[in-house]
Structure 1
Amino acid sequence: MTTNNLDEKIDAMSPRRREQLLAFDRLLTIMDELREQCPWDRKQTWESLRHLTIEETYELSDAILENDAPEVRKELGDLLLHLVFYARIASETGVEPSNRFDIADVLNGICDKLISRHPHIYGNTKAETEEEVKQNWEQLKLKEGNKSVLGGVPGSLPALVKAMRIQEKARGAGFDWEEKQQVWEKVEEEMQEFKNEFNAENNETIDKQQAEGEFGDLLFSLVNYARFIDINPETALERTNKKFIKRFQYLEARAKENGRELKDMTLAEMDVFWNEAKTAL
């Protein structure tokens, strides 16, 4: 794009879009200054930033679950800084020329991918429903070189999230149950198999490896059913985790108010405070 064309494009932008571009330019400028002048920022590498980025992602996830808009805005800023940081490191002269890129390459790359993955918007393909869009998406990824529909599922994803993504991708390829009743029947089947093999009333020693496999099958089928009724199992479990933490901390506080310690209380005594927590929180 020539300078004249760029100037014309900027002139045609809304004031808010120009403000957004200036804010992004400000971040890039600060990133350049920090990388050149700050001892800590100069020292960072992709590898040293990786665990920090993962932490920031979880902090954003927490803010979303709490529906805390100011915190979401803050955490998005932290993540955006990390993305800019990775690109800045990749643009430096110490990087092999064949591996070198900058933030413009990153942004143009994702723009090109979005356009190619949405032929129903930018091409002649028709997709009237969300399911058709997903199916087109997976087929396009196979044409781009993916050997398997499941090849795009990161190996390091937490198991619960990975199960959901595996099932979503299989559905995108047309491999799925037709009715949710079928999925629930599978849940009941897996539950019965687990119960038959490892009945809690039977005090015999169990084969832990076999039990783990059956329990994994049961969890996978529950994730499948959650997907069918539009529940994200990761979100559901995390909300339950947070609810348990709040109630348990209430239990601890009430016990302390009464001069008691949990380890010295009976389950029945603790249940009194637990039931209070269910009403109070």
Structure 2
Amino acid sequence: MSYSIDDLKTLMARLRDPDTGCPWDTKQTFRTIVPHTLEEAHEVADTIEREDYAHLKEELGDLLFQVIFYSQLGREQDLFDFDAVVHTLVRKLLRRHPHVFPEGTLESRVDPDNRPTDEWIAASWERIKAEERAEKGETESAQPASRLDDIPASLPALTRADKLQRRASRHGFDWPDVEPVFDKLQEEIAELKVAWQNAQQDPAARDEVEDELGDLMFVCVNLARFLKVNPEQALRRTNRKFEARFRAIEDILREQGRDLDEESLEALDEIWNRVKGVERSHET
């Protein structure tokens, strides 16, 4: 027997039943589920980055459950249901992809010998997004709508910095090439050093350190963009690398009957370099 999306919707309704449902599920609201949604999305990303495809369908199912949960809450409050979510999504994607669905229907197709250029597609995407913002009333405020308005403030900081920079770049506000970005990186490092030195003399200058460090990280995101590297993904990759190496140090010391907390920094650094050497030998 293979369960369907309808079975999942039924299960969700049962979990939310006020009389016979799950006590935890019945207490949840839109807001209380948000942390779980973020966690599930990160677990999907982590599974993919580790190439653990055997467990990917399970993690995707957990993420889908979040959508089903929100949809059930929406149905209970007469806001929307899962079918409305699907309908809205399909309608939006049909509209945003005239280069695939020229008549805005699933049945319409483009001529394979007369496909639009990448430049036309990018311009069309921006135009359609602007039309959607206008339809939502976002251009009717007292102040002109910013081209950055639809970039969610709740995104992880590195991801949002990347999106802000990409949006500004589309409208001509960008470095001409990567070389000035490297120069700017060195400039921000120097300014951070000055801010740190000032903070040693005046604790009130700590805010300056935070500002300058933020500027440095923002430039790093710019550099990642020019190097065509996803900054969030790059940092997660480095986190995994650090964790693997640190765990290896712990294992080595444990095998030798030594305590990590009692070792000198020099001894730990020597083992760290040994672990890195093993990594390089495996790469060659």
Alignment counterpart, residue 155 of structure 1, candidates 141, 153, 156: 153
Name the residue aligned to 1:47: 31
CA distance in 2: counterparts of 1:104 and 1:64, whole angstroms: 28
In the alignment, which residue of structure 2 is the partner of 1:30?
11
Correspondence 1:1-281 to 2 at 5 A: 23-36=4-17, 37-40=20-23, 41-92=25-76, 95=77, 97=78, 100-123=79-102, 127-129=116-118, 133-144=121-132, 145=134, 146=138, 147-198=145-196, 207-281=205-279
**Residue type matched to 2:69 in 1?**
F
Looking at structure 2, the residues matched to 215 and 279 of structure 1 have their Cα atoms a distance apart, in angstroms, of 31
Tell me the CA shift for residue 241 of structure 1: 0.9
Moved more, 44-53 or 220-229: 44-53
Q: 1:135–1:174: 8 Å Cα contact kept in structure 2?
A: no
- The change in CA–CA distance for 1:178 and 1:135 in structure 2 (over 3 A counts) is farther
More helix by share: 1
Same amino acid, percent of matched pairs: 37
State how far apart, in whole Å, the 2-side matches of 1:235 and 1:34 are: 35
Residue of structure 2 in register with 1:7 after alignment:
none
Is contact 1:183-1:225 (8 Å) kept?
Answer: yes
- For structure 1, the residue ranges without an aligned partner over 5 or more in a row are 1-18
Can you list the C-alpha shifts for 1:90-122, whole angstroms capped at 9, x where unaligned?
112xx2x4xx21111111111111122223333
State the one-letter code of the partner of 2:21: C
* Structure 2 counterpart SS, 1:120: coil
Amino acid of the structure 2 residue aligned with 1:86:
Y
Deviation at 1:271, TM superposition (A): 1.8
Instruction: Point out the more displaced range, 83-92 or 42-51.
Output: 42-51
* Greater mean alpha carbon deviation, residues 100-109 or residues 176-185: 176-185
Structure 1 stretch 232-241 or stretch 152-161: which is displaced more? 152-161
How far the C-alpha of 1:52 sits from its partner, in A, is 1.7
Greater alpha carbon shift after TM alignment, 145-154 vs 132-141: 132-141
Q: Which has the higher contact order (CA 8 A, sep 6+)?
A: 1
Structure 1's consecutive aligned runs of 4 or more residues displaced over 6 angstroms after TM superposition are none
Distance in 2 (CA, whole Å) between partners of 1:153 and 1:117 is: 17
Provide the C-alpha distance between the structure 1 equivalents of 2:181 and 2:120, rounded to a whole number of angstroms. Answer: 22
The answer (yes or no) to whether the contact 1:63–1:69 under 8 Å persists in 2 is yes
CA RMSD of aligned residues (A): 2.9
CA contact (8 A) 1:135 1:173 kept: no
For 1:173 and 1:72, the matched residues in 2 are separated by 38
Q: Judging changes above 3 Å, is the alpha-carbon distance between structure 1 residues 127 and 150 closer, same or farther for their aligned structure 2 residues? A: farther
Instruction: Give the TM-score normalised by structure 1.
Output: 0.79
Structure 2: runs of 5 or more not aligned: 104-114, 139-144, 280-284
TM-score with structure 2 setting the length = 0.78
